[in-house]
Amino acid sequence: MEANKIIPDPAQVREELIQKYPAKVAKKRAKSIVINDPEIIPEVQANVRTVPGIITQRGCSYAGCKGVVLGPTRDIVNIVHGPIGCSFYAWLTRRNQTKPETLMDANYIPYCFSTDMQEENIVFGGEKKLKVAIQEAYDLFHPKSIAIFSTCPVGLIGDDVHAASREMKEKFGDCNVFGFSCEGYRGVSQSAGHHIANNGVFKHMVGRDNTPSEGKFKLNLLGEYNIGGDAFEIERIFEKVGITLVASFSGNSTVRAIENSHTADLNVILCHRSINYMGDMMETKYGIPWMKVNFVGAESTAKSLRKIAEYFGDDELKARVEAVIAEETPKVKAVIEEILPRTKGKTAMLFVGGSRAHHYQDLFAELGMTTVAAGYEFAHRDDYEGRDVLPKIKVDADSKNIEELKIVADPELYNPRKTDAELDALKEKGLEINGYEGMMKQMTKKSLVVDDLSHYESEKLIEIYKPDIFCAGIKEKYVVQKMGIPLKQLHSYDYGGPYTGFEGAVNFYKDIDRMVNNPVWKLIKAPWETAGNGKGAGLEASYVTQ
Amino acid sequence: MLLRHTSKEVKVREGLTINPAKTCQPIGAMYAALGIHGCLPHSHGSQGCCSYHRSTLTRHYKEPVMAATSSFTEGASVFGGQANLLAAIDTIFAVYDPDIIAVHSTCLSETIGDDLQQITRKARDDGKIPEGKYVIYASTPSFIGSHVTGYSNMVAGMATQFAESTGAKKNQFNIIAGWMEPSDMREIKRLAKVMGINIVLFPDTSDVLDAPQTGKHVFYPKGGTTVAELKSSGDSLASLALGSISAEPAAIALEKKCKVPFETLDIPIGLTATDRFIMAISKVAGVNVPDEITEERGRLVDVMCDMEQYLHGKRVALFGDPDQLLPLTEFLLDLNMKPVHIVSGTPGQRFEKQMRQLLDERSPETNFKSGLQADMFLLHQWMKNDPVDLLIGNTYGKYMARDEDIPFIRFGFPILDRIGHSYFPNVGYGGSLRLLEKILNAIMDRQDRDALEEKFELVM
Ligand code: SF4
Ligand code: SF4
């Protein structure tokens, strides 16, 4: 077992990270690189523009809207209005698994739809072509819903995707058509697209189906996209404990489930960044409280299940939750006990997403590994510092461009699931209702927090800290591995997973053990490089007779 | 069924593309720029495009793919991206220190009307480009053409912006690489060496996108055509452009600028295209073809003779890019196979004409469509109506192959789920032999899988 590594002085590291930047850039980046103190959490500059020319991990608003939030629902025909590329790149690359109940059920996820705009559409407008495309999609597939996504040029040439959608929706009568103005230049990252998607899904889908849902303990799973089958594992556990999943936003989900989601009695939020708007809006309009949970990590899963049981306040449910935890835990324990001696004391860095860099720290903690530095790609301050900071966040020009829906209580459907007194009592018990304490509270003192890490900074960090594993995405994967450090992709899981729940924890332990202890990392140098090339003295005569 | 909504009945579409057999220009420009030594590609637009292009290239190569972006926000989209690009140039030279920045546009900057020539000139005038460094550019609007067009535009940009004629000819030839893999470029260099000629190959992604594991990340890997080589291309005796869409525009540019004569050839995939390539070198350089090459050829033809029974009449569907599809189709015909359906999302009258001509002569009943709505959805529908024995195309083909239960060979771009394309070529006689081996394996594995017990063969 390796001894605990000496952690470098973070203040010095920070200086080194910004040293090479032009003065203005250095000043800006310095505010996004902070030394953590879980007691008095320092301010992190987040959700601000990336400096042009910096090699960033970030993508665009369209990626956040279509790719992340809307993509995983299997029975919407998602038409991307724009030139071909944007649609092509978002085609099946996010690994949102889905499982239609029968062979007859709709599943458009393996398809890629685009209006493939040509020059004349840019010059003379593309709305006509868009309407033709919607008509053709309708004629070919007769889907329940068609969603339209605007890419960069569309906003500039002034195509009104919303008007086109409304017109086609009225024309069809039996197909819900709606659009998203999620052009890539909106906001500063994918995050803008999450917000735009939340607004659209809330406006055009949630609440369309008032059929009362069955079940005693009904909830929605928000911000779980079923990458690598994560949602399947959570579904398995819910079924075991007797919780009814009304809708998932949006892994393995269907249009109908989302339209009916307001009949649930609780929203649990996994990825706070991408879906917290939905939690707030559903609370205001329908009176459904939300609660932050985390199903990444065996202990976190157990904790989250207990929180849910506590919320419903039912003894039978609580007992079942305990029984399931008791049943699942030994399998997990057996694996981790065998692996722990090989992973304990090692270090990890996580720079990814808007919630994963937080959640996965739980799994690393279970592996006995320390997170020495972490940060998000597109999060906001509240994801770092906790939601208490929300009133203090100033709205800049980039955020102002994104619509804030004005939501009021629904005159008929508003039904507060808990009274204020009940909510207070739950809070007394330590349940964080409608709240999230962020990543930094959980990280150790003097660990490093960096928002929107650049390529340059990542190489420096690796040089200085020499972590045992680095977690990021595909663009970083082979760069880091070329440096002889394994990189775990936390968007695509390197095509493995699931990593949620109990079975997911086991998968993750095994994967990390395999990665950090793989003999290949010791085979990088050729023998003549370590032995000294050309320094041999010829063969020695070592012929041995008996 | 994965593609359960694909019906047999083909309806004409005019607005909707489904499962495209192409992608957008900038990714091609980015790939081409990686084939210049010490070059950082730069995407002038919003972050998303750059992120998508880097991700796709990374998945295809399993290698670092470095590129920067102008990171447009709403302001830049309204007021133009000049300020962003100038700031980016500053940051890039300070932080990443490339020899060259190769800027390509995106749909957004093209729609706004940013003029890359003017902005890069301004960068030079403002002293933002350090001594001995370069910023080149290519306009790559994705609402025209495809990823192949973007590649072609960037390669042409290399010729126009670097080539110089000093007046003194050099004893060398340009080979302008159409879109091919690093392994193919390596093989082209080997063949030229065996033929005994000096070449400038550009672009050249070998030793860039197939870099060795050394425990160090080399930001600018050792490969890539150097600036000196690119400059000297204006003094070369002649150019061979491999691919009429992806390489010829650069050859034309060189002829215009430096009067270097050129000949356009197919990418040497398959026997006859490689024959033409070798003959062209022999003719243009006045060199004899050495025995080594004749023997390589002989080995390929030998296998074609020996295994002809497994190939004869086999029906193939293929999709991909024009410059690869033409020689590939010809190779299939040489193998006595039947290309039944061919689709390419990349438009082009020249390609249409060449492919039609080839098919009219040797396989008039083949379904062929290129350009708008020539997509995998259509190809799949054709396959449902007229089944095939083999599908050849990029990774996205595996969904059709699985649904229809037909053997599938990965060929083209992108290949996201297998390795090999960066290491083992498809060009030249050796590369064609490898392609033939793959075809045979696919067909013969299927025969083994489906054979009745009493018909199961030991020797084949
Ligand atoms: S906007 Fe244009 S350049 Fe960017 S990904 Fe889409 S099609 Fe490609
Ligand atoms: S064009 Fe815009 S929407 Fe499309 S990928 Fe690029 S940034 Fe995103």
- Distance of residue A43 Cα from the nearest chain B Cα, in angstroms: 24
Ligand nearest to the CA of B142: 1
Q: What is the mean pLDDT of residues A383-407?
A: 93
Read off the pLDDT of residues A225-279 as tens digits, 9 standing for 90 and up: 999 999 999 999 999 999 999 999 999 999 999 999 999 999 999 999 999 999 9
Task: Summarize the confidence of residues A178-188 as an average pLDDT.
Answer: 96
Q: Any chain A CB within 8 A of the CB of B419? A: no
Binary contact (B215, A108; C-beta < 8 A): no
Nearest listed ligand to the Cα of residue B43? 1
pLDDT at B428: 98
Query: Is residue A416 scored above 70 in pLDDT?
Result: yes
**How many angstroms separate the CA atoms of B277 and B279, rounded?**
5
For the segment A132-139, the average pLDDT, to the nearest whole number, is 98
CB contact under 8 A, A53 and B59: no
Q: Is residue B15 part of a domain?
A: no
Question: Does the annotation count A29 as an active-site position?
Answer: no
Residue A114: predicted pLDDT: 98
CA distance B218 to B213: 10
Question: Is A194 a known active-site residue?
Answer: yes
Mean pLDDT of all residues in chain A?
Answer: 95
Mean pLDDT value of segment A470-495: 97
Q: What is the mean pLDDT of residues B261-281?
A: 98
Domain boundary among B162, B191, B210: B162
User: Quick one: B77 and B196 in the same domain?
Assistant: no
- Please identify, among B138, B162, B186, the residue that sits at the C-terminal boundary of a domain: B162
A342 given a catalytic annotation: no
**How far is the C-alpha of A357 from the C-alpha of A366, rounded, in Å?**
15
pLDDT tens for each residue of A357-385? 999 999 999 999 999 999 999 999 999 99
Nearest Cα of chain B lies from the Cα of A191 at a distance, in angstroms, of 12
pLDDT at A537 over 80: no
Is the CB of residue B98 less than 8 Å away from at least one CB of chain A? no
| Ligand 2 centre distance from Cα of residue B26 (Å) | 12
- Domain assignment present for residue B442? The answer is yes
Residues 6+ apart with CB under 8 A from B50: B43, B67, B68, B69
Indicate the Cα dihedral angle A321, A327, A328, A334, nearest 10°: 150
Residues B427 and B300 in one domain: yes
**DSSP, res A388:** G
How is residue B70 written in tokens? 């102008």
The domain boundary, picked from B162, B196, B214, lies at B162
Residues of B numbered 176-205 whose beta carbons fall under 8 angstroms of chain A's beta carbons: which are they?
none
The catalytic residue among A14, A46, A58, A63 is: A63
* Tokens 């449910």 found at: A317
How far apart (Å, rounded) are the C-alpha atoms in residues B23 and B143?
A: 10
- Kindly indicate the confidence band of residue A397, based on its pLDDT and cuts at 50, 70 and 90: confident
pLDDT of res. A4: 53
pLDDT(A542) > 70: no
- Smallest CA-to-CA distance from B333 within B302, B306, B355 is with B355
Nearest CA owner, ligand 1 atom 3: B106
- Looking at the structure, do residues B182 and B61 belong to the same domain, yes or no? no
- Could you tell me if B32 and B140 lie in one domain? yes
Same domain, B135 and B243: no
Which ligand 1 atom is nearest residue A152's CA?
1
CA gap A260, B3 in Å, rounded: 27
> Does the structure show a pLDDT above 60 at A436?
yes
Which chain B residues are closer than 8 Å to A117 by Cβ?
A: 143
State how far the Cα of A215 lies from the Cα of A221, in Å rounded to an integer: 15
Indicate if the pLDDT at residue A24 is higher than 70: yes
pLDDT averaged over every residue in chain B: 97
User: What are the two backbone dihedrals, phi and then psi, of residue A162, each rounded to the nearest 5 degrees?
Assistant: -70, -45
Beta strand B238-242 with B173-176: parallel, antiparallel or unpaired?
parallel
Check whether residue B196 and residue B182 sit in a common domain.
yes
Tell which one of B46, B51, B71 to mutate to probe ligand 2, the residue whose CB is within 8 A of the most ligand atoms.
Answer: B46
Question: Where do the domains of chain A lie, and which CATH numbers do they carry?
Answer: 61-204 (3.40.50.1980), 218-338+387-428 (3.40.50.1980)
The one catalytic residue among A14, A29, A60, A264: A60
Q: Are B5 and A69 in contact (CB under 8 A)?
A: no
Number of other residues whose CB lies within 10 A of the CB of residue B395: 18
Q: CA-CA distances (angstroms) from residue A535 to A529, A540, B259, B342?
A: 11, 14, 52, 58
Residues B270, B363 within the same domain: no
Residue B285 shares a structural domain with residue B359 = no
Collapse the DSSP code of A119 into the 3-class scheme (helix H, G, I; strand E, B; otherwise coil) and give the result: helix
Cβ neighbours of A184 in B, within 8 Å: 45-49, 72, 108
CA distance B201 to B281: 14
Is pLDDT at A5 greater than 80 in this prediction?
no
pLDDT tier for residue A532 given thresholds of 50, 70 and 90 = confident
Tell me if chain B has a CB within 8 Å of the CB of A460: no
* Alpha carbons B458 and A477: distance in angstroms, whole number: 44
Residue with tokens 């493939």: A116
A446: left (phi over 0), alpha (psi -120 to 50) or beta: left
Nearest CA in chain A to B109: A153
Residue with CA closest to ligand 1 atom 4:
B49
Whether A2 shows a pLDDT value over 60: the answer reads no
**B266 and B212 fall within a common domain:** yes
Provide the percentage of residues in chain A whose pLDDT is more than 70. Answer: 97
Within-domain flag for B152: yes
Q: What is the pLDDT of residues B36-64, one digit of tens each?
A: 999 999 999 999 999 999 999 999 999 99
pLDDT one-digit tens code per residue, A458-470: 999 999 999 999 9
Q: Which long-range contacts (C-beta less than 8 Å, at least 24 apart) are formed by A27-30?
A: A29/A454, A29/A457
DSSP string of A129-148? Answer: HHHHHHHHHHHHH--SEEEE
**Cα torsion B267, A117, B115, B94: sign:** negative
Count how many domains chain B has: 3
Partners of B17 on chain A (C-beta within 8 Å) are 84, 87, 113-116
**Alpha-carbon gap, residue B70 to B325, rounded angstroms:** 35
Residues A97 and A253: their CA atoms lie apart, in Å, by: 10
Structure-token match 């900071």, residue found: A389
Q: Beta strand pairing status for B315-319 and B390-393?
A: parallel
- Residue pLDDT, tens place only, A41-80: 999 999 999 999 999 999 999 999 999 999 999 999 999 9
pLDDT of residue A159: 97
Comparing alpha-carbon positions, the chain B residue that sits nearest to A124 is B111
Q: A79 C-alpha vs ligand 2 centroid, how far in Å?
A: 14
Q: Are B377 and B343 in contact (CB under 8 A)?
A: no
pLDDT at B287: 98
- Six token digits for residue B277: 């390539």
Nearest CA to ligand 1 atom 1: B107
CB contact at 8 A, A224 and A253: no
B14 domain-assigned = no
Tell whether A35 lies on the interface with B, counting CB pairs under 8 A. no
pLDDT at A533: 76
Q: Which domain holds residue B154?
A: 25-162
Report the gap between the CA of A518 and the closest CA in chain B (Å): 15
Give dist(CA A441, CA A292) in Å, integer: 15
The mean pLDDT value for A516-538 works out to 85
Check residue A530 and give its pLDDT. 82
Burial letters for A453-492: b for 16+ Cβ neighbours within 10 Å, e otherwise? bbbbbbbbbbebbebbbbbbbbbbbbbbbbbbbbbbbbbb
Specify the CATH number for the domain of residue B30: 3.40.50.1980
Inter-chain touch A52–B13, beta carbons under 8 Å: no
| Residues 286-325 (B) with a CB less than 8 A from some CB of A | none
| The pLDDT of residue A183 is above 80 | yes
- Taking the C-alpha atoms of residue A233 and residue A100, their distance in angstroms, rounded to an integer, is 16
- Is B358 in the same domain as B251? no
| Model ipTM value | 0.97
The C-alpha of A104 sits at a distance from chain B's nearest C-alpha, in angstroms, of: 8
Is B154 inside any structural domain? yes
Which residues contact residue A529 at a Cβ distance below 8 angstroms, ignoring those fewer than 6 apart?
Answer: none
* Secondary structure in 3-state letters for A340-352: HHHHCCCEEEEEC
- The answer to whether residue B376 is domain-embedded is yes
Q: Is the pLDDT of residue A534 over 80?
A: no
Q: What average pLDDT score do residues A506-516 get?
A: 98
Task: Report whether B299 contacts B318 (CB < 8 A).
Answer: no
Higher pLDDT pick, A326 / A536 = A326
Write the burial class of residue B357 (CB in 10 Å: 0-12 exposed, 13-18 middle, 19+ buried): exposed
B14 near A CB under 8 A: yes
Nearest CA in chain B to A463: B216
- Please tell me the distance between residue B49's alpha carbon and the centre of ligand 1 in angstroms: 5
What number of C-beta contacts closer than 8 Å exist between A and B? Answer: 270
The span from the CA of B272 to the CA of A121, in Å, is 41
Q: Which of residues 429-448 of A touch B (CB under 8 A)?
A: none
Whether pLDDT at B247 is above 80? yes
In what helix (H) or strand (E) does residue A81 lie, and over which residues does it extend?
strand A76-81
Centroid of ligand 1 to alpha carbon of A154 (angstroms) = 11
pLDDT of residue A1: 39
User: Does pTM top 0.95 for this prediction?
Assistant: yes
End-to-end CA distance of chain B: 33
Phi–psi pair at A20, nearest 5 degrees: -85, -10
Q: Is residue B7 part of a domain?
A: no
Measured distance CA(B323)–CA(B441) in Å, rounded: 25
Please answer yes or no on whether A111 and B24 come within 8 Å at the CB atom: no
Least CA distance to B63: which residue of chain A? A478
**SS3 sequence of chain B:** CCCCCCCCCCCCCCCCEECCCCCCHHHHHHHHHCCECCEEEEEECCHHHHHHHHHHHHHHHCCCCCCEECCCCHHHHHHCCHHHHHHHHHHHHHHCCCCEEEEEECHHHHHHCCCHHHHHHHHHHCCCCCCCCEEEEECCCCCCCCHHHHHHHHHHHHHHHHCCCCCCCCCCEEEECCCCCHHHHHHHHHHHHHHCCCEEEECCCCCCCCCCCCCCCCCCCCCCECHHHHHHHHHCCEEEEECCCCCHHHHHHHHHHHCCCEEEECCCECHHHHHHHHHHHHHHHCCCCCHHHHHHHHHHHHHHHHCHHHHCCCEEEEECCHHHHHHHHHHHHHCCCEEEEEEECCCCHHHHHHHHHHHHHHCCCCEEEECCCCCHHHHHHHHHHCCCCEEEECCCHHHHHHHHCCCEEECCCCCCCCCCCCCCCCEHHHHHHHHHHHHHHHHHHHHHHHCCHHHCCCCC
User: Residue B344 pairs with which residues in a beta bridge?
Assistant: B370
Calpha distance A182→A194 (Å, rounded): 9
Active site residue A63: yes
Q: Does A53 touch chain B (CB under 8 A)?
A: yes
Q: Are residues B285 and B360 in the same domain?
A: no
Asked if the C-beta of A136 comes within 8 angstroms of chain B's C-beta atoms, the answer is: yes
Q: Are residues B237 and B278 in the same domain?
A: yes
User: Region A486-491: what's the mean pLDDT?
Assistant: 97
**Residue A73: per-residue pLDDT:** 97
Q: What is the pLDDT of residue A3?
A: 44
Question: What token pair was written down for A335?
Answer: 């694996």
CA B153 to chain centre: 13
CA nearest to B8 within chain A: A140
Q: Does A112 touch chain B (CB under 8 A)?
A: yes
Which residue is catalytic, options A94, A95, A262, A359? A94
Q: Which candidate, B361, B359, B369, B354, places its Cα nearest to that of B339?
A: B359
Pocket of ligand 2 (CB under 6 A): A 60, 62, 86, 151-152, 183-184; B 46, 48-49, 52, 106-108
**Which sign, positive or negative, has the C-alpha torsion A343, A344, A348, A352?**
positive
Taking the CA of residue B50 as reference, the ligand 2 atom at the shortest distance is: 6
Domain assignment present for residue B127? The answer is yes
CA-based nearest distance A56→chain B, Å: 8
- The residue among A278, A223, A355 whose CA lies nearest residue A234 is A223
Closest ligand to C-alpha of residue B149 is 1
